Amino acid sequence: MFLEPAYTIDELITRCKVGERKAQELLYKQLASKMLGVCMRYATDRMEAEDMLQNGFIKLFNKLDDYRGDGAFEGWVRRIMVHTAIEYYRKHHKMIQIIDMAEISDEPSVNPAALENMSVKDLMNMIQQLSPGYRMVFNLYAIEGYSHKEIAGIVGITEGASKSQLSRARTILKDRVTKMEDKKYGYAG
Amino acid sequence: MDMQDKEFDKVFKSKFEDFNVGPAPMVWDNIAGELDRKKTKRAIMPWLSIAATILVLLTAGVLFLKQKGDTAVQHGHAAKLVSNNVGHVMTTTPGKVHTAPVIVVQHSNRVASTKAHNAPAGTSPASAVVPENVIVTDNTVKDAEPIKTESHNITQNFVPGKQTQLAAKPLDLEQQPPVAKPVIAAISKQDVAVVKKHGIHSLGGLINVLVAKVDKRQDKLIEFTDNDDDDTESSITGVNLGIIKVKKQ
């Protein structure tokens, strides 16, 4: 296999800062798959996710001078992607406040083993089917680990709204997990 | 068996921890294209700004002269013209001036304070256009003395014959071609003062103020954005060339 000359991530960053196109491409290739994995969770479909990824990387290269080398580079890139996704959400879904599907009266109970056995692909589908607001809050809180206060600040909603959207998102997800489990074993639901 | 919310979240988090999806090749092409576009824009922008500034200043100068050309022109400029012409009048008709009883009063190089509208039409244009405090420096007009009286007094005291001789050499300021340099210099001086007042944020804002100073129309000759956001550079929001008008909101 013909290898590209191996650069450390720091070397790549330095060369990217002076705008070297080859270095930018290498850096992109190192991170793109993982970051698209992040964007996918914030998007409705793959096309939207690739849009976010594209915007995120353009922002990354333009802001690279701000990266001082403190903290993991991947974490820094990830934050840029998440913020790009939030921006995308604001731009495209600002006014849409969909009340998600039929009301779920009872809190569905989820079998932990059933959840563990589900594929990432299935979980991704469930997240992508959430309405944009629920999806955003669930991602930021459950996966990225932001607090409700932080979410309120960056998304531009109240803390209370963040809490109630998270709770609604969880309920919907649990409901779907349960239904999939039932389907698998032939229950009527 | 039920599950706590925390555990539920945890499962999602761990499942997505190492989730990778290869993006379409097109995505990198788009990124590279966008980076190229920004690069070219950055390389061109400074030159565009400079070119626009020069154009604006030149056009501003022309417009300013057009507006002011009809009326008073400039103090210093008018004074210069007048002093030259007064000298001319005096020296070419020395006898008359010396014998004019009222004009000659004291030894002094000051020519007097009379205003154009005070002078009855067709009488004494020379004195009519002399602004206040004009100093006649020409040595050949030593004998030009201050005219203390108002212009109508002058005309009263003038011998009719002499009046007509003076009138025969009218000072027609309007026909004098305006001189560009002093006027433009004056504009820049005034505007430096204005700049501070308005809290200008960018080169665009500076140009806006300069243009507004000269171009009094609602849609200016050229308008730029004025924001202090470092990320965005000033861009043109409006152009008004009289027949061609473009305005961006």
Q: Which pLDDT belongs to residue B235?
A: 72
> pLDDT at position A134, please?
92
**Tell me: the pLDDT tens digits for B47-74?**
888 888 899 999 888 888 887 776 655 5
For chain B, percent of residues with pLDDT exceeding 70: 43
With 90 as the cut, is the pLDDT of residue B32 above it?
Answer: yes
For chain B, give the mean pLDDT. 63
HEC assignment per residue over chain A: CCCCCCCCHHHHHHHHHCCCHHHHHHHHHHHHHHHHHHHHHHCCCHHHHHHHHHHHHHHHHHHHHHCCCCCCHHHHHHHHHHHHHHHHHHHHHCCCCCCCCCCCCCCCCCCHHHHHHCCHHHHHHHHHHCCHHHHHHHHHHHHCCCCHHHHHHHHHCCHHHHHHHHHHHHHHHHHHHHHHHHHHCCCCC
Q: Which residues, 6+ apart, have CB-to-CB distance to B128 below 8 Å?
A: B114, B115, B116, B118, B119, B151, B171
The three state secondary structure string of chain B is CCCCHHHHHHHHHHHHCCCCCCCCHHHHHHHHHHHHHHHHHHHHHHHHHHHHHHHHHHHHHHHHHHHHHCCCCCHHHHHHHHHHHHHHHHHHCHHHHHHCCCCCCCCCCECCCCCHHHCCCCCCHHHHCCCCCCECCCHHHCCCCCCCCCHHHHHHHCCHHHHHHHHCCCCCHHHCCCCHHHHHHHHHHHHHHHHHHHCCCCHHHHHHHHHHHHCCCCCCCEEECCCCCCCCCCCEEEEECCCCEEECC
More confident residue, B59 or B227: B59
Closest partner residue to A54 (CB to CB) among B16, B22, B30 is B30
Asked whether residue B159 carries a pLDDT value surpassing 60, the answer given is no
pLDDT of residue A168: 92
- pLDDT at site B68: 75
- Measure the CA–CA gap between A56 and A64, rounded to whole angstroms: 12
Report CA dihedral (B112, B116, B117, B123) to the nearest 10 degrees.
90
Give domain limits for chain B. 32-71+198-247, 75-175
**Considering the domain A96-189 in this protein, what is its CATH number?**
1.10.10.10
ipTM of the complex: 0.85
Integer Cα distance of B153 and B14 in angstroms? 104
> Where is pLDDT greater, at B17 or B247?
B17
Q: Answer yes or no: is pLDDT of B4 > 70.
A: yes
Q: Is the dihedral of CA B138, B140, B143, B144 positive or negative?
A: negative
* pTM, two decimal places: 0.54
**Nearest-neighbour CA in chain A from B46: distance (Å):** 19
Q: Which of A122, A120, A125 is nearest to A45 (CA)?
A: A125
Name B207's Cβ contacts closer than 8 Å, sequence gap at least 6: B52, B53, B56, B222, B224, B234
Q: Is A24 on the interface with B (CB under 8 A)?
A: yes
Give the CATH architecture of domain A1-95: Orthogonal Bundle (1.10)
- In tens, the pLDDT along B180-210 reads 455 444 444 454 444 444 567 777 788 888 8
Q: Considering chain A, what is the average pLDDT of its residues? A: 87
pLDDT tens digits for A2-37? 555 678 888 899 999 998 999 999 999 999 999 999
Q: Where are the CATH 1.10.1740.10 domain residues in chain A?
A: 1-95
Residue percentage of chain B with pLDDT more than 90: 12
Question: Which tens digits make up the pLDDT trace of B87-114?
Answer: 444 444 444 444 444 443 344 444 444 4
- Whether residue B171 is predicted with pLDDT greater than 70 in this model: the reply is no
pLDDT at A104: 61
pLDDT of the residue at B227: 67
The per-residue pLDDT for A41 is: 96
Q: Which of A52, A110, A117 best tests the B interface by mutation, with the highest count of B CBs <10 A? A: A110
Task: Give the pLDDT confidence of A114-147 residue by residue, as tens digits.
Answer: 888 889 999 999 999 999 999 999 999 999 999 9
Q: What is the mean pLDDT of residues B31-56?
A: 86
A143-178 residue pLDDT tens: 999 999 999 998 888 999 999 999 999 999 999 998
**Using CB atoms and an 8 Å cut-off, which of residues 105-144 of chain A contact chain B?**
109-112, 115-116, 118, 120, 123-124, 127, 141-143
Average pLDDT over residues B155-161: 46
Worst-scoring range by mean pLDDT, A69-78, B123-132, B167-176, B233-242? Answer: B123-132
CATH 1.10.10.10 in chain A is located at 96-189
Confidence of residue B216 (pLDDT cuts 50, 70, 90): confident
* Degrees, nearest 5: CA angle A15-A16-A17: 90
Distance (Å) from the C-alpha of residue B20 to the closest C-alpha of chain A?
Answer: 5
Instruction: Give how far B236 is from chain A: nearest CA, Å.
Output: 23
